[in-house]
Copies of this chain bind each other. A is one copy, B any other.
Amino acid sequence: MPTVDVHTHMYPPALMSILRERKKVPYVRLFKDDPTSGERLVILPQEEAGSTARGRPIGPEYYDVAKKIAFMDLHKIDISVVSLANPWLDWLPAEEAAETARLVNDDVEKMCVDHEGRLYAFATLPLSASAHEVVREIQRLASLKHCRGVVIGTSGLGQGLDDSELDPIWQALEKHKMLVFLHPHYGLPSEVFGPRNCEYGHVLPLAMGFPLETTIAVTRMILSGIFDRFQDLNVLLAHSGGTLPFLAGRIESCIAHDAHLKKEGKISGRRGVWEVLKKNIYLDAVVYADVGLKAAIDASGADRYVWAYLQASFDFLTYIYRIMFGTDHPFFPPLQGEDDQWLSVTSNMAAIQGALGEGTKTAQDIMGDNAVRILRLGN
């Protein structure tokens, strides 16, 4: 019964070299007026302008695979499916994107090979290049032994994920059975958080901007009919779907009551939010509370039933929830006690136990067995 972390980030060494050489966001730099703070990673423009902190400290936990393995061992995580952290490669000049993506994806694959059995990966697409180049990279990735999907943000080729220019990309991902790990990056404009935003540190944009960005992006995908055109496309939503499990009912109701959609004949005959949740969407368990986790389980439903003829038990019928444990490492480190288990990890583990009971089969499924099945780990 392995523990598998499907939401865990790295900036592999090949990417760190690029980020260190850059002179603007996103980049890794030293601040000369604050020499003790060391290297800092600035991934969002507002992190440079804010009064509370400039970027975030970036130590080896972000790029040294030995640190990832040590973190896994500390938390008894057997397998990590690593993905680049935001902003991935969206910012690359078009002419460099495809080659850099190959370089970075191969660097990650090497890491997985060097730690056989411990690491798998979601690769990164050269989205600032053309759809054609992206499809080429997907075809290449299909041959990498440890690649199980791709991580993407919400901007797509620049016009969002509901842009029909992405159709060849969805088609290629569906064909190669690659899971799309959809992860927020841009959040919401800072003014929506009010004039006292900075007094509350990063709480409002991190706690609310990110989840809403994910919810908007996946709802746009649903409304634009992507899951009708690509019925076997599978998406893993970061942070338990942002807010989708809670808002799915309201979204469906707003669709059913929208005069414009009715006039356009777009209300019925399409895969609805609940159907997409139960057929195309997987969720991570990065929600930090059993209340949210229960909603995520209820919303995404059970994947399939296994009739266990050969087991000498009464568990003939098995529900496989479409949820998989994650940590968001190396983000949300403890503010003190670095050697202890991380609160951000233990609170997600506790949420699973709180929602499903300690040591139950369904809890263990979410902790790892679901990921092994869904991502075909170990094969």
Q: Which residues of A contact B (CB under 8 A)?
A: 52-53, 159-160, 162, 188-189, 191-196, 199-204, 206-208, 211-213, 215-216, 219-220, 223-224, 239-240, 243, 245-262, 287-292, 294-295, 298-299, 332-335, 343-344, 347, 351
Contact = CB atoms under 8 A, between A and B. Distances in A.
Given A246-B295, A343-B256, A219 B201 contact: no
Contacts of A333: 257
Contacts of A215: 208
Nearest to A333: B257
Contacts of A299: 291
A223 B250 contact: no
Given A192-B188, A243-B247, A292-B249, A202 B53 contact: no
B53 A253 contact: no
B288 A253 contact: yes
How many identical subunits does the complex contain? 2
A287 B250 contact: yes
Given A162-B194, A200-B261, A201-B258, 7 more contacts: A159-B195, A188-B212, A192-B212, A202-B258, A207-B247, A248-B292, A256-B335
Given A203-B255, A216-B194, A292 B250 contact: yes
A51 B207 CA distance: 33
A57 to B, nearest CB: 9
Nearest to A215: B208
A257 B162 CA distance: 34
A240 B247 CA distance: 10
Contacts of A332: 253, 257
A352 to B, nearest CB: 12
B52 A260 contact: yes
Nearest to A200: B223
Contact of A189 (B189, B246, B247): B189
A189 B189 CA distance: 8
Contact of A162 (B196, B207, B224, B240): B196
B294 A249 contact: no
A211 B250 CA distance: 9
Contacts of A288: 249-250, 252-253
A331 to B, nearest CB: 9
A202 B254 contact: yes
A259 B291 contact: no
A195 B245 CA distance: 24
Contacts of A246: 240, 243, 245-246, 287, 291-292, 295
A209 to B, nearest CB: 9
A131 B200 CA distance: 25
Contacts of A196: 160, 162, 220, 224
